[in-house]
Chain A
């Protein structure tokens, strides 16, 4: 089985700033990768590199194609939502469907119309008049009507209210995702995507802090919630990070013997957000 995404040593530099500093990434079909990082971590640059939208150094094969050389061919099987506001504002919804139907061999116009019928987006509406939420619904409907193998979403729900965000990811998971498809999502709203991810990647300052399957993350990382005396003892064991809890501490450990920690308090899988904060803090402390 060939990988959908294979990248080795990806690098992209803007002047003095190393936006992407040697990233490796391998992804099989049927994965949902969450790309998580602070602002300016290089997430957007990495995603654009994967799509051939920006120059980069390193080995790169997406769906068997080098996107830097054959961007147009790749886009037949890869879809991309950059963020909430990139649909052409002067166009009408039906004109957008016309255009996509004209240039995209894998687009099913009827399916898009069917998906839009469930929303408030009218076909005769001008895109510039749509609300942010409706624009995203439109873009999602468009993308879901394309029979693609890779979907890349760069902050797709930025600026949307929680109802739209929930609906967006639910629809994506229920009506779109299957074994054949691969989805990469970059986002700040870690909690909202956490339960749909199969893989996760943390980035900070252009580098990969963590890139693994969710199963492996559950294996390797553990959060201990301890109170009183136990908390003090727990803090003595080398840990990734800690944060205060009511009357105690929550500590995140990497690759430790869980049986050793068990007597000290409650063990659980850390939330991605907490793990992310701990990882970034550790990385920043190193420099």
Chain B
């Protein structure tokens, strides 16, 4: 029984992946290959011209430069002692201390006694700078002017590109998933199969929320590992212990965990938004995208004109995965809990709204499927 049940869900998901083969399966692979090729090209150029090589190394090490735009990893401890990490883009201010009043910020570099395995300096001139052991994370707020030097920002950069592509692909998938089969009348075939509307809707949601992201995150991780390999090759030109240098500047398991858990958290947070687009897809007669966007735009405009506020825009913006709710500079949100600051209640409310919207999808799918 459980066997046929899982077989059933597998078939439902497989059907989605087959219909959206290009966007859900080939796109992450193509993006991964493209990014890897770009890196290889960079490596090739770096080998040809040592000057450009420096630039690439600078990029890898994220040494502060005159462009003034740096990706930095900020690790901080919140009141509960949980470590919350996020990437922030800042113009010139490398020191984020004091940015979050409730939390104690500290830099990654001056890591405590675990320095050997964890936090090595990885500066542009390829010197090892084992940090001085500190007493603990609470004391680690010294030397705030030190640049954060690790491979993580680069890896998260790759991940951010992947998530951006995922987001575009997901929106396209969601707006079409309950509409296209109504348009081409193949819904009459799907409805001739013993599959309930709930199963259909939930399978499609699962594809958008979990399965497609799994593909994209897997592609992203592979690309990141390819990038590490590039870093390895690059540093082996200069350094004898290339492996040591690269591995010392990256915590592969930690990055992986962050990215996977980060997505799960984002998915939970974005659920009502996804369900909303699905509802538009289930109800649209002409254009699901238009149906999804119009009410929101109208409401936002009304709010702006009548109340002069932009609560709705802010609330919607905050629900979009991978975009930081509090990232004033529009930085990517990749780690930690997206509802941090907005509270547990917001998550629960979001889930309730999502449940209602999904119920609406099912009702429309059952009763108003004819175009």
- Residues of A whose CB lies within 8 Å of any CB of B are 51, 53-55, 71-76, 79-83, 85-91, 95, 98-105
Known: A53-B191, A88-B181. 7 other contacts (CB 8 A): A54-B370, A72-B199, A73-B194, A75-B193, A86-B186, A88-B19, A102-B8
Known: A91-B18, A95-B18, A99-B11. A105 touches B194 (CB 8 A): yes
A103 and B12 form a contact (CB under 8 A):
yes
A102 and B11 form a contact (CB under 8 A):
yes
A103 to B196, CA, bound (A): 11
Known: A71-B191, A86-B189. A99 touches B14 (CB 8 A): yes
* B-chain residues with CB within 8 Å of residue A51 when the two chains form the complex: 191-192
Question: Is residue B239 within 8 Å, beta carbon to beta carbon, of the partner chain?
Answer: no
Q: How far is the CB of B87 from chain A (nearest CB, A)?
A: 39
B19 and A102 form a contact (CB under 8 A):
no
Question: Is residue B10 within 8 Å, beta carbon to beta carbon, of the partner chain?
Answer: yes
Q: How far is the CB of B331 from chain A (nearest CB, A)?
A: 39
Known: A71-B366, A91-B18, A99-B11. A80 touches B184 (CB 8 A): no
Q: How far is the CB of B100 from chain A (nearest CB, A)?
A: 49
* A-chain residues with CB within 8 Å of residue B14 when the two chains form the complex: 98-99, 102
A29 to B196, CA, bound (A): 26
Provide a sorted-by-A list of 7 A–B residue pairs whose CB atoms are within 8 angstroms.
Answer: A54-B367, A73-B194, A82-B192, A88-B186, A99-B193, A100-B193, A102-B11
* A-chain residues with CB within 8 Å of residue B186 when the two chains form the complex: 86-89
A73 to B195, CA, bound (A): 8
* B-chain residues with CB within 8 Å of residue A103 when the two chains form the complex: 8, 11-12, 193-195
Known: A91-B18, A99-B15, A105-B4. A82 touches B194 (CB 8 A): no
A102 to B19, CA, bound (A): 16
Contact of B194 among A76, A81, A98 (CB under 8 A): A76
A-B contact count (CB 8 A): 80
B185 and A86 form a contact (CB under 8 A):
yes
In order of increasing CB-CB distance, the 9 nearest A-B pairs are A102-B11, A82-B188, A72-B196, A80-B192, A75-B194, A88-B186, A86-B188, A76-B194, A86-B189
* B-chain residues with CB within 8 Å of residue A95 when the two chains form the complex: 15, 18
Known: A76-B194, A95-B18. A102 touches B7 (CB 8 A): yes
B19 and A90 form a contact (CB under 8 A):
yes
Please count how many residues in chain B sit with their CB below 8 Å of the partner chain's CB atoms: 29
A91 to B16, CA, bound (A): 11
Interface flags, B17-56, vs A, CB<8A=1, else 0: 0110000000000000000000000000000000000000
A79 to B14, CA, bound (A): 23
A85 and B194 form a contact (CB under 8 A):
no
Q: How far is the CB of B300 from chain A (nearest CB, A)?
A: 34
* A-chain residues with CB within 8 Å of residue B196 when the two chains form the complex: 71-72
A80 to B194, CA, bound (A): 11
B185 and A85 form a contact (CB under 8 A):
yes
A88 and B189 form a contact (CB under 8 A):
yes
A89 to B19, CA, bound (A): 10
| Residue on B nearest A14 in the bound complex, by CB | B370
* B-chain residues with CB within 8 Å of residue A71 when the two chains form the complex: 191, 196-197, 366
* A-chain residues with CB within 8 Å of residue B192 when the two chains form the complex: 51, 75, 79-82
A285 to B15, CA, bound (A): 52
A82 to B15, CA, bound (A): 21
* A-chain residues with CB within 8 Å of residue B8 when the two chains form the complex: 102-103
* A-chain residues with CB within 8 Å of residue B187 when the two chains form the complex: 86
* A-chain residues with CB within 8 Å of residue B367 when the two chains form the complex: 54-55
B184 and A88 form a contact (CB under 8 A):
yes
| Residue on A nearest B12 in the bound complex, by CB | A103
| Residue on A nearest B7 in the bound complex, by CB | A102
* A-chain residues with CB within 8 Å of residue B181 when the two chains form the complex: 88
Q: How far is the CB of B189 from chain A (nearest CB, A)?
A: 5
| Residue on A nearest B191 in the bound complex, by CB | A53
Q: How far is the CB of B32 from chain A (nearest CB, A)?
A: 25
Known: A88-B19, A88-B181. A104 touches B194 (CB 8 A): yes
* A-chain residues with CB within 8 Å of residue B18 when the two chains form the complex: 90-91, 95
* A-chain residues with CB within 8 Å of residue B10 when the two chains form the complex: 102
Q: How far is the CB of A129 from chain B (nearest CB, A)?
A: 15
Q: How far is the CB of A95 from chain B (nearest CB, A)?
A: 6
A76 to B194, CA, bound (A): 5
* A-chain residues with CB within 8 Å of residue B193 when the two chains form the complex: 75, 99-100, 103-104
